[in-house]
Homo-oligomer: A and B are copies of this chain.
């Protein structure tokens, strides 16, 4: 592996979902691993004084159209969730707990879990704020769901997420997805091609 793409995202972010489906091909192409970094845009928006994309007049309608159109272009399943946006606290904590226990070099189970959660929410309209839903997803990919459920209530695991969000804000992360290679930031599902060109050329 030549390096790491840090992939910051919120489980409630449609562009985070679309980006999560496309980032692996880019990482593999350039022999990089992905570090999945779930954050909570709700906390970030308090700092940046932003609101969820879909709340803005005009921009909101465009966004909802564009989520589906961008998904169609990349042949990804997308169904705008009936409850949107959500606070994906439990899903994010579960991911960080798993990431810690996962093989650091491969992170295969974490990757599978990230995809399973995103699919559940954006393709199958499941309630990913429900820990029972998260447990079922965990089991389906061989994760110890009981250990996970217990971990969600641990102060140490709560701290993991708090630190992840604080550290993201300190690095200037303000949206989802945001990809970082070292200190270089690329924001948005529509910047994956630019990230790819950046990695291919070594930057400009």
Contact = CB atoms under 8 A, between A and B. Distances in A.
Interface string A160-179: 00000000010011110000
A159 interface: no
B47 A174 contact: no
A66 B65 CA distance: 25
Contacts of A56: 48-50, 174
Contacts of A70: 194
A29 interface: no
Number of this chain's copies in the complex: 2
B190 A58 contact: no
A62 interface: yes
Provide the main secondary structure of the chain A interface: helix
Contacts of A69: 204
B49 A187 contact: no
Nearest to A201: B73
Contacts of A188: 190
Looking at A62, A70, A175, A185, the one whose CB has the most chain B CB atoms below 10 A away is A62
A103 interface: no
10 closest Cβ contacts across the A-B interface? A58-B174, A59-B174, A190-B190, A58-B172, A72-B204, A48-B57, A48-B56, A48-B58, A73-B204, A48-B59
27 contacts: A44-B58, A47-B58, A48-B56, A48-B57, A48-B58, A48-B59, A49-B56, A49-B57, A50-B59, A56-B174, A58-B169, A58-B173, A58-B174, A59-B174, A59-B175, A62-B172, A62-B187, A65-B185, A66-B187, A69-B204, A72-B204, A73-B204, A188-B190, A190-B190, A190-B191, A190-B194, A193-B193
